[in-house]
Amino acid sequence: MLGPVILAASRSDRMRRLISAAPVTRQVVDRFIPGETVDDIVPIIKGLTGRGLELTMDVVGEDITTPEQAAAARDAYLALIDRLSDLGLGERVEMSVKLSMFGQALPGGHELALANVRPVVEAAAAIGTTVTLDAEDHTTLDSMFAVHEELRKDFPQTGCVIQAYLFRTEADARRLAAAGSRVRLVKGAYKEPAEVAYQQKQEIDKAYVRVLRTLMEGEGYPMIGSHDPRLISIAQELARRAGRKLDEYEFQMLYGIRSDEHLRLAAEGHRMRVYTAYGTDWYGYFMRRLAEKPANLRFFARSMISK
């Protein structure tokens, strides 16, 4: 029951101000968002790649209100890509991008987001890596898929995310499971109405398996974004039945969640990519992590009280 309440709070400016200003917040936030600047995050990137993991980087921020902020978001990714190039880590680290941060919700936002994301995709390709477009709430997805299709004309390796909780996703998966496509499947992290999305965990998990089967049996490159042990074993079994080799799909998990499992799967020879977020505008990302596991909220509340 707490999840939807926390997700509603993630859209509230009042809650954002309250939580962002709490002195203890940064320590708790660190578990999921381990830095604010490129300099903070470089040691984390080196540490994870040094342990055999790959990364996808998210410069956090989503509720922007001006074109200047969207341009700043683009520049933040370009600065990160420059640093990865200097470190020679381009091929191990890809980018995850939220189009809302690139201006999608502003007037003329579809074109603005496309114009801002394109240089990031170009810069990523120049250092041997790629970009995946994150999936946000359902109202943004037609635009996201259109941007994805446009980018793929020049950069076919550009990935996108689909969310098992949405009714539309089975059809999206059939369309996307084509040769050369890279698709991350997740359960879905936003508060969605019953008209467009399954609401019960069991239904979402069943939909996840159906969509995963479509991706595994298709010709694209499935990226399994989940920490759910049951879904991870099902993914391994579906990959085996589809005759996929270990480098024909990958697992992805979030930084700070089930870290032992990241290492276990990598040690088994799987490609394991850790979604690593950093930056100052962490509120939305942090609140979604609290909503996914209410025990996180209890821990957060206890830390505030004990201060």
**Which residue ranges make up the site for ligand FAD (CB under 6 A)?**
134-135, 161, 163, 186-190, 225-228, 252-254, 257-258, 275, 289, 292-293, 296
Asked whether residue 227 is marked as a ligand-binding residue, the answer is yes
Asked whether residue 14 is marked as a ligand-binding residue, the answer is no
The Cα diameter of the chain in Å comes to 54
Burial of 194 (0-12, 13-18, 19+ CB in 10 A): exposed
Dist CA 249 CA 177 (whole Å): 12
Active site residue 184: yes
Contact 73, 116 (CB under 8 A): yes
Q: How far is the CB of 277 from ligand FAD (least distance, A)?
A: 10
Asked whether residue 288 is marked as a ligand-binding residue, the answer is yes
Q: Which CB sits closer to ligand FAD, 108 or 229?
A: 229
Instruction: Give the Cβ contact number of residue 128 at 10 Å.
Output: 15
Q: Which CB sits closer to ligand FAD, 180 or 229?
A: 229
Q: How far is the CB of 35 from ligand FAD (least distance, A)?
A: 18
Q: Which CB sits closer to ligand FAD, 64 or 165?
A: 165
The token pair at 118 is 């394109």
Q: How far is the CB of 234 from ligand FAD (least distance, A)?
A: 12
Contact 101, 61 (CB under 8 A): yes
Dist CA 127 CA 170 (whole Å): 33
Q: How far is the CB of 27 from ligand FAD (least distance, A)?
A: 16
Asked whether residue 201 is marked as a ligand-binding residue, the answer is yes
Helix (H) or strand (E) segment spanning residue 42:
helix 38-50
Active site residue 260: no
Q: In sequence order, what DSSP letters do the residues of 166-189 get, joined into one string?
A: BTTHHHHHHHH-STT-EEEEE---
Which candidate in 118, 184, 205, 281 is catalytic?
Answer: 184
Q: Which CB sits closer to ligand FAD, 213 or 227?
A: 227
Which candidate in 58, 134, 172, 205 is catalytic?
Answer: 134
Helix (H) or strand (E) segment spanning residue 301:
helix 294-306
Q: In sequence order, what DSSP letters do the residues of 223-250 get, joined into one string?
A: EEE---HHHHHHHHHHHHHTT--GGGSE
Asked whether residue 289 is marked as a ligand-binding residue, the answer is yes
The token pair at 273 is 């990519």
Helix%, strand%, coil% for the chain, nearest 5: 55, 15, 30
Q: Which CB sits closer to ligand FAD, 118 or 289?
A: 289
Q: How far is the CB of 86 from ligand FAD (least distance, A)?
A: 25
Residues that constitute the known binding site for FAD: 163, 187-189, 201, 226-227
Q: Pick out the residues of the known binding site.
A: 98, 163, 187-189, 201, 226-227, 288-289
What is the set of active-site residues?
A: 134, 184
